[in-house]
Amino acid sequence: MHHQQASLFDTAAPGLGDLAAARRTRLGAGAWIDTFPGWLTGADDLFARLAAEVPWRGERRQMYDNVVAVPRLLAHYGDGDPLPDPILEHARAALTGHYAEELGEPFTTAGLCYYRDGRDSVAWHGDRTGRGSDKDTLVAIVSLGAPRPLLLRPRGGGPATVRRPLGHGDLIVMGGSCQRTWDHAIPKTRSVVGGRISVQFRPHGVR
Ligand SMILES: O=C(O)CCC(=O)C(=O)O
Ligand SMILES: [Fe+2]
């Protein structure tokens, strides 16, 4: 008798939901988020493929006198770089099409982050190293793997006022002034959680 390896993974073809069904929440100060739980379907093996095949690198950042490791792994795909999976190309094209009028330019880059477990995190920040510092823009995030909450709070500190659990296949889009008037974070958790990969699509010059 043959030994059959049971498939851990969904074998349905990957698909993307209709973005017309995304739900918008206005945060105030010109910022908003759109959410679409389960936007990316049938891609259960995508997490494993990306985890294994993306050239992940640790990030080290100068902080005062010390260089500290940022607790997550990163990979960056710039304008024109082929993305590591065709479904990510489809996702980016669908986002560019749906948000064409509001964004006025295509999503071009993809930043990938791998949170290996609950100790990996990203601290409060806005994506305002580039044009997000003084221009309205959009950052679209597709989440894969273990659920982790994305927290948001008005820029300048204080407790999180918005919390969105991001599970496998979920989409969140931060828009309007969100990068300069609000901050976001993925907090550490003491709960036992598996790996999570976040794919962030941004237009040219937004970081
Ligand atoms: O992990 C996420 O979904 C958020 C990542 C993020 O905010 C960033 O890399 O700028
Ligand atoms: Fe960010």
Spans of all domains in the chain:
17-203
Kindly state if the Cβ of 184 falls inside 6 Å of ligand 1.
yes
Give pLDDT, residue 9.
53
Kindly state if the Cβ of 200 falls inside 6 Å of ligand 1.
yes
Distance 129 CA to ligand 1 centre (A): 13
Nearest-CA residue for atom 1 of ligand 1: 198
Point out the ligand nearest to the CA of residue 182: 2
Give pLDDT, residue 89.
97
Give pLDDT, residue 55.
97
Rg (alpha carbons) of the chain, rounded to whole number: 17
How many Cβ atoms from other residues are within 10 Å of residue 70's Cβ?
Answer: 16
Cα angle 186-62-84, degrees, rounded to a multiple of 5: 55
Kindly state if the Cβ of 198 falls inside 6 Å of ligand 1.
yes
Report the alpha-carbon distance of residue 79 to residue 56 in Å, rounded: 18
What secondary structure does DSSP assign to 23-88, as a single string?
EEEEEETTEEEEEETT-EES-HHHHHHHHHHS--EEEEEEETTEEEEEEEEEEEE-TTPPPSSHHH
pLDDT along the chain (207 residues), means of 10: 48 88 96 98 93 92 70 95 97 98 97 96 93 95 98 95 97 98 96 96 96
Kindly state if the Cβ of 96 falls inside 6 Å of ligand 1.
no
Give pLDDT, residue 64.
67
Give pLDDT, residue 67.
73
| Ligand 1 atom, smallest distance to 115 CA | 1
Kindly state if the Cβ of 175 falls inside 6 Å of ligand 1.
no
| Ligand 1 atom, smallest distance to 185 CA | 7
Give pLDDT, residue 2.
44
Distance 5 CA to ligand 1 centre (A): 35
Give pLDDT, residue 70.
76
pTM of this structure? 0.92
CB 202 within 8 A of CB 154: no
Neighbours of ion ligand 2 (CB under 5 A): 127
CB 47 within 8 A of CB 147: no
Give pLDDT, residue 60.
73
Give pLDDT, residue 11.
58
Query: Maximum distance among all alpha carbons in the chain?
Result: 65
Give the type of residue at 169. Answer: G
| Class level of CATH domain 17-203 | mainly beta
